[in-house]
Amino acid sequence: FITVHIDGMGTNWRSKAFHDVAWKNLKDAGFPDRIAWMKAAAADRPWMDIDRVGIYGVSAGGQNAMAALLWHNDFYKAAVADCGCHDNRMDKIWWNEQWMGYPIDASYSASSNRDNAHLLQGDLLLTVGELDQNVDPASTMQVADALIKADKDFEFINFPGLGHGTIGSPYGQRRMRDFFVRSLWGVDPRRKQ
């Protein structure tokens, strides 16, 4: 695997104009920048296979990882969404208002993974910690329910006794690696028993 970490437009700590790219549009998540960067990098690195690109994220990154398979599935083929805030109407409002504003309007639904679950294309692994104190686990359960109602296939792991950020656990790391090996390489991972 080749791993990159790209700070796309819409993230904070830069400028107001940089931040405002995602204003009322969290589904953007800097994807146009990320995709353009990977295509440019692959142009002079023939060993980079950008036909099999995966993404993972935790919290808002989990929301973004799933969003990649909703709105950019022509590029992203697999995603691991850990403890994601999949609908900003149900998460802590102080955080969401920074990006989505108030009052709640149609932009919340337009960026909702739950409301747009029917658009899923690609392989998705949802993970959540039973005791997540940051993003309510119900957010992941609601998006799982929407995926089931849309008859979409996905994988799901609920981590008993864990909080926010389950993918950092040894079991979570292995399951994420195995998921990407299956989804992007098309082989069953080797595992010592």
Question: In this structure, what DSSP letter does residue 181 have?
Answer: I
**Single pTM value for the model:** 0.93
- Cis peptide upstream of residue 103 (ω within 30 degrees of 0): yes
* Tokens (6 digits) for 111: 């960026």
List Cβ neighbours of 9 (8 Å cut-off, separation of 6 or more): 18, 21, 22, 28, 30, 32, 33
Per residue in 61-72, pLDDT (tens digit) is: 999 999 999 999
Domains and CATH numbers, the chain: 53-185 (3.40.50.1820)
Instruction: Decide: residue 42, CB within 10 A, 0-12 exposed, 13-18 middle, 19+ buried.
Output: middle
* Residue carrying the six token digits 């949802």: 126
Per residue in 5-22, pLDDT (tens digit) is: 887 777 767 788 887 888
Check pLDDT > 70 for residue 73. yes
* Tokens (6 digits) for 95: 């955080």
